[in-house]
Amino acid sequence: MKFRIGDATDTKLCVALKHEFLRCDDAFNDFFELSAGQGESPRSAYKTYNAYARFVQHLYEFMLGAVARERLDTKRLEYSLADRYIAGHAQRILTNRRQAILVGTAPSWENHVSYYPERVPERFAEDFRNARNIASVHVTSKRADLSLSSFFHQNHKYLHMLYYDAKSWWGRQGEAFPDLKEVTAFSLLVKAEPPPS
């Protein structure tokens, strides 16, 4: 469905984008805390994997929503077009980050320019989509063979760039938690009508 910035559809999409990014942020923080924890067990490995898989899932879904807003159209994209949008956005962030380092305007905590290649890997967006599909969305025998470790090693810096870029716009601002309309209303209902235990 086509829409315009500021109309009812755009307002609802913005609520959904805020919600999806907050879910992404929660998953990233869970992953960060779990990966920094002491000791390793099958249970902690399971939780760490799941937190990262949720991060990948919610970041990918957020990116699809952001693409819809950029296009002013909620129609679901073909995978190839979604991949091009995501790869292009990641490349813009990467180019800007490298440029800021090279001209001396990057923050002091930024990595050295050698950390960032000039180009996003050709298969980045496709690998991102496949990792999202296999690790957290579709129940398939492929999950047993998906190396989330390899995906992390090859692609996390690009996911982190997308995440960090989105966080400045869609992350929590200040102490007040945003009203997410029906998402917020759900908890009010559950408190009024507690589920059976």
Residue 111 Cα distances to 11, 35, 88, 95, 116, angstroms: 36, 21, 22, 14, 8
Tokens of 34: 């779990």
Q: Please state the rounded mean pLDDT for residues 101-112.
A: 95
Residue 178 Cα distances to 12, 42, 60, 143, 188, angstroms: 14, 36, 22, 35, 15
Summarize pLDDT for 114-162 with one digit per residue, the tens.
Answer: 999 999 999 999 999 999 999 999 999 999 999 999 999 999 999 999 9
Cα–Cα distance between 29 and 197 in angstroms, integer?
29
Which tops the pLDDT comparison, 197 or 136? 136
pTM more than 0.85: yes
Q: Lowest mean pLDDT of 16-25, 46-55, 162-171, 174-183, name the range.
A: 174-183
pLDDT tops 80 at residue 173: no
Helix (H, G, I), strand (E, B) or coil at 2: strand
Summarize pLDDT for 20-73 with one digit per residue, the tens.
Answer: 999 999 999 999 999 988 668 899 999 999 999 999 999 999 999 999 999 999
Cα–Cα distance between 34 and 55 in angstroms, integer?
13
Q: With beta carbons less than 8 A apart as the criterion, state whether 97 and 109 touch.
A: no
Residue 149 amino acid letter: S
Phi and psi at 139, nearest 5°, equal: -85, 110
